[in-house]
Amino acid sequence: MAAGLEIKELSAGYGPVSVLHGVTLTVKPEELVTVIGPNGAGKSTTLRTISGLLRPRGGIIRFNGETVHALKPDILVSKGIVHVPEGRRIFSRLSVLENLEMGAYRRKDSIVGELDHIFDMFPILKQRSGQKAGTLSGGEQQMLALGRALLSKPQLLLLDEPSMGLAPLIVQNIFRIIEQIRRAGVMILLVEQNAQQALKLADRGYVLEDGHIVLEGAAQELLTSEAVRKSYLGEALI
């Protein structure tokens, strides 16, 4: 049985609008793979389709050898596919602790030990555990979204723009935590506007434009690619 995520010729859209056109990509065990591209290219749509929030119009999604593109989001979570969407989507009126517990809503085992681990990883969440999540800063909300996702015991973590709207020092911390999650053996598919940081972190990358994969390769190769540098990295590496 093949391990990891395998997508072949994926097509998807909203109503009459087609967004993805034959997207093919893979994430292998213990890999961090990034998808970069301009706004409107279909990056978030790709993640939404993988996580079952959007039904594909064509193509195949396999996870650990099983065809999963017809499954509902809660079933996909139970199989280890966990999505941290753009904008975090926390429950603002619930406490930090209640939000974290929502990540384990399908589990029947104790989460006490793992909750302690989350608080070790994000000490600020322990300090804020009784506070309403809507009162947290943007960086704290992103930490909460990551912590909640980890309590779902992901094998594959889908991360959509985790650095959006955050201060540079907070961004550095978030990416450090993402690397820590990857080192723990979780596969990660990362959509990120900060292309340079994403490629520095990733093993491999894909460039998505107008719903098509136009470039793929080792992250270091993309980082030094003239086409990628001109389009997504500006003058940072010149």
Three-class DSSP category at 217: strand
Q: Mean pLDDT for each consecutive 10-residue tract of the chain (238 residues)?
A: 89 96 97 94 97 96 96 95 89 94 80 88 94 93 94 96 89 92 96 92 96 96 87 57
Distance in angstroms (rounded) separating the CA atoms of residues 127 and 82: 25
Q: Establish if 218 belongs to a structural domain.
A: yes
Predicted pLDDT at 51: 97
Total of domains in the chain: 1
Q: Establish if 150 belongs to a structural domain.
A: yes
The structure tokens listed for 8 are: 């072949």
Predicted pLDDT at 232: 75
Listed as own residue / partner, the contacts of 164-172 with beta carbons closer than 8 Å and 24 or more positions apart are 164/86, 164/87, 164/193, 165/138, 166/138, 166/139, 166/142, 167/139, 170/138, 170/139, 170/142, 171/197
Dihedral pair phi/psi, residue 197, rounded to 5°: -65, -40
Q: Give the model confidence (pLDDT) of 19-30 as tens digits.
A: 999 999 999 999
Q: Give the model confidence (pLDDT) of 147-164 as tens digits.
A: 999 999 999 999 999 998
DSSP-derived letter for residue 131 is S
Predicted pLDDT at 234: 62
Predicted pLDDT at 237: 39
Q: Establish if 153 belongs to a structural domain.
A: yes
pTM: 0.92
Predicted pLDDT at 105: 79
Q: Establish if 196 belongs to a structural domain.
A: yes
Assign residue 66 the CATH number of its domain. 3.40.50.300
Residue with tokens 């064509």: 58
Q: Establish if 135 belongs to a structural domain.
A: yes
Q: Whole domain around residue 123: which residue ranges?
A: 5-233
Q: Establish if 238 belongs to a structural domain.
A: no
